[in-house]
Amino acid sequence: MKVRGFTLLEVLVAMAIFATGIAAIVEANLSNISVTQSLDERFVGSLVASNELTNLRLSRLWPEAAQTESSVSQGGREWYMTRRIAATRDPDVKRVDIEVFSDTDRESKAATLFGYIVRYQPPVAMPGKQDAGGDGDENANPAGDENADLAAEGVENADPDTAAQQDPNSETNSQPDSETNTGQQSQ
């Protein structure tokens, strides 16, 4: 009886097919890693740009129309930003363009974001109006007054000396307030 095995040619062909399959799997994994790194870079870059726009809005600063470059650390690495602020037709609105790069040469753009900032103007109380806000809240403080807590309690002046004189329940108030006591009966 003769035992037959694989010839050298058959083994070489099988190894070539196996090597081609392994090379294709390695290439697919490398491509997957590259895409994942790119998505990570784009995601963190968009967070950096969004944070910059949010910080600009929250600062309530009114920046001049200009282009600035800066860097920030986020996600365990350094990011480089270019921020352009441009005027719009409305003098109280400016456009902000933010580009985020992953390299110092600013060649590899990770994210781009644009938005608008609006000049903050506190509400102004209308003279002679009880409720300038129009929402029916009697204790609303539309003027941004520092004495909001005292106003909510019915005290019109924050000066402690004059507040005690206006408080009808205060022990230092020597004159009764006729409007406060009207309709109240002591028992």
Structure tokens at 36: 């994942």
What backbone phi and psi angles, to 5 degrees, belong to 124? Answer: -110, 130
For residue 119, the one-letter residue type is R
| pTM for this predicted structure | 0.54
Name the superfamily (CATH) of residues 8-118. Answer: GSPII I/J protein-like (3.30.1300.30)
What is the mean pLDDT for each group of 10 consecutive residues in the chain (187 residues)? 79 94 92 89 93 90 89 90 94 93 87 90 75 49 46 43 45 43 41
For residue 52, the one-letter residue type is E
Separation of first and last alpha carbons in the chain? 127
> 154 vs 138, 149, 179, CA distance in Å?
10, 9, 14
DSSP strand pairing (93-101 vs 109-118): antiparallel
Query: Cα–Cα distance between 110 and 85 in angstroms, integer?
Result: 19
Q: What pLDDT was estimated at residue 126?
A: 79
Neighbour tally for 72: CB within 10 Å? 13
The edge-to-edge listing of strands for the beta sheet with 67-74 is 67-74, 77-87, 93-101, 109-118
Beta bridge partners of 94: 87, 117
Q: What pLDDT was estimated at residue 94?
A: 93
Query: Cα–Cα distance between 34 and 28 in angstroms, integer?
Result: 10
CB-based burial of residue 81 (10 Å sphere; 0-12 exposed, 13-18 middle, 19+ buried)? buried
With beta carbons less than 8 A apart as the criterion, state whether 49 and 59 touch. Answer: no
Domain positions in the chain are 8-118
Q: What pLDDT was estimated at residue 76?
A: 87
Give Cα 143 distance to the centre of its chain. 26
Q: Output the CA angle 37-41-43, nearest 5 degrees.
A: 115
Q: What pLDDT was estimated at residue 168?
A: 47
**pLDDT (tens digit per residue) in 74-84:** 888 999 999 99
